[in-house]
Amino acid sequence: MAVRTPVYLDHHATTPMDPAVLEVLQRVQKDHFGNPASQGHSFGWAAQTLVENARHQVAQLVGAEDREIIFTSGATEANNLVLLGGAATSGKPCKIISTTLEHSSIAEPLTRLQEQGWDVVRIQSDLDGLIQPEDIEACLNDDQDHEVLMVSVIAAQNEIGTLQPLEQIGKLCRRRGVLFHSDAAQACGHVPIDAQAMNLDLVSISSHKIYGPKGVGALMVKRTHPPLPLAPLFFGGGQENGLRPGTLNVPGISAFGEACRLALKNRDEEVLRLRQLKDRFWHRLQEQLPGVYLNGAAEPRLPGNLNIRFDGIRSAQLLPRVSVLALSTGAACRSDEPGPSPVLMSLGLDSNQADSSVRIGLGRFTSQEDVDFAAERLIGAVEKLRQE
């Protein structure tokens, strides 16, 4: 079967919309312009019904109650709301525990808080790209000077795909009565994330990482008495419990809901299919090339993720040689930042090794033919570069 090129292998940067999701987006955009906050007429009621239906679909994906879902413009906003909105409720700077594996939308707000006097602890991952719960426990027990506001740990790392032990960390946080947040943008819809079982108080989700439209996402906020300490970042309307004022993006939210429904429906099957494709890809490279290494633990890992290091190759030279493949050297959101990836460095790689690494992200529409074609092209390009 002929392979359609270019082959898209960058599903951690974003995913194409599922055709069923696109259909919902277009239908709602066309037929329902009402404002869900207009409670006096049927246009508003129809829009509100669509939003509440989507809220239910998102909630189902993370094992939450409908009213625990706050719609945002994406996971970046959800992450900023958690950290900056959480910090704003505290009268004085205290302590936040996070990790060296975080996405820039956690890492940068944390740096801002640090500049404002907060004690920010970034737990170092092990050489496999996994956070050890004991390290978090030690930090929670560490000094009693500073009250800990929250623990924030990425669920699935966006470069190396490693899945963090959220259930164990959740238990520690619950025992200590500390808030537990996870940036689950790469995990929700791809692997099971259950807010209840993992003791998660706050979860960030993104639509465009799960075959939904861009510019939509959600924050799950566990309902408690009294409510969790969280202040809005924006003001000017009571929407979303006052936590995220502004007129809702009804078409985007509806389509996001559909994306969540599809992700949940297909998830277990898709995990098996992608894992098999990923293993096939990796075995081909390993069989035919010397000096190839997997960055990060083989398991537990996102089923569609490979992050591979080729000895003696610079990825900046390799990528243009395989322009028929859409690959990346790391996080799309920090592609403007020079220097090696901090995540790869935290695996103990030196900057040369980090520079010889490539991220491969397989997705819902990746076929076995795509994988075979991509492996063959990559192997050819690496062999050729090594001869030069």
Ligand X SMILES: *Cc1c(COP(=O)(O)O)cnc(C)c1O
Instruction: Return all residues near 245 (Cβ < 8 A) that are at least 6 apart.
Output: 232, 234, 235, 236, 237, 238, 239
Query: Which of the following is catalytic: 94, 173, 188, 333?
Result: 333
Given the complex with ligand X, which of 34 and 361 has the nearer CB atom? 361
Tell me how far, at minimum, the Cβ of 135 lies from ligand X, in Å. 20
DSSP code, position 59: H
- Mark whether 188 is an active-site residue: no
Question: 301 has which bridge partners?
Answer: 162
Tell me how far, at minimum, the Cβ of 247 lies from ligand X, in Å. 19
Given the complex with ligand X, which of 129 and 217 has the nearer CB atom? 217
Q: What is the number of the residue whose Cβ is closest to ligand X? A: 74
Residue type, 293: Y
Tell me how far, at minimum, the Cβ of 209 lies from ligand X, in Å. 6
Instruction: Return all residues near 287 (Cβ < 8 A) that are at least 6 apart.
Output: none
Given the complex with ligand X, which of 106 and 313 has the nearer CB atom? 106
Distance, in Å, from the CA atom of 83 to the CA atom of 179, rounded to the nearest integer, reads 11
Distance, in Å, from the CA atom of 249 to the CA atom of 135, rounded to the nearest integer, reads 41
Given the complex with ligand X, which of 151 and 318 has the nearer CB atom? 151
Tell me how far, at minimum, the Cβ of 249 lies from ligand X, in Å. 13
Distance set, CA 206 to CA 28, 44, 76, 80, 308 (Å): 20, 25, 8, 13, 25
226 prior amide bond cis, ω within 30:
yes
Tell me how far, at minimum, the Cβ of 154 lies from ligand X, in Å. 6
Given the complex with ligand X, which of 183 and 201 has the nearer CB atom? 183
- 95 membership: H or E segment, kind and range: strand 95-99
Question: 69 has which bridge partners?
Answer: 220
Given the complex with ligand X, which of 48 and 152 has the nearer CB atom? 152
Distance, in Å, from the CA atom of 211 to the CA atom of 304, rounded to the nearest integer, reads 14
Residue type, 12: H
Tell me how far, at minimum, the Cβ of 27 lies from ligand X, in Å. 23
By CB under 6 A, name the binding residues for ligand X: 74-76, 103, 105, 154, 158, 183, 185-186, 206, 208-209, 217
Instruction: Return all residues near 46 (Cβ < 8 A) that are at least 6 apart.
Output: 32, 34
Instruction: Return all residues near 7 (Cβ < 8 A) that are at least 6 apart.
Output: 324, 325, 326, 366, 370, 373, 374
Q: Are 161 and 362 in contact (CB under 8 A)?
A: no
Catalytic residue annotation: 333
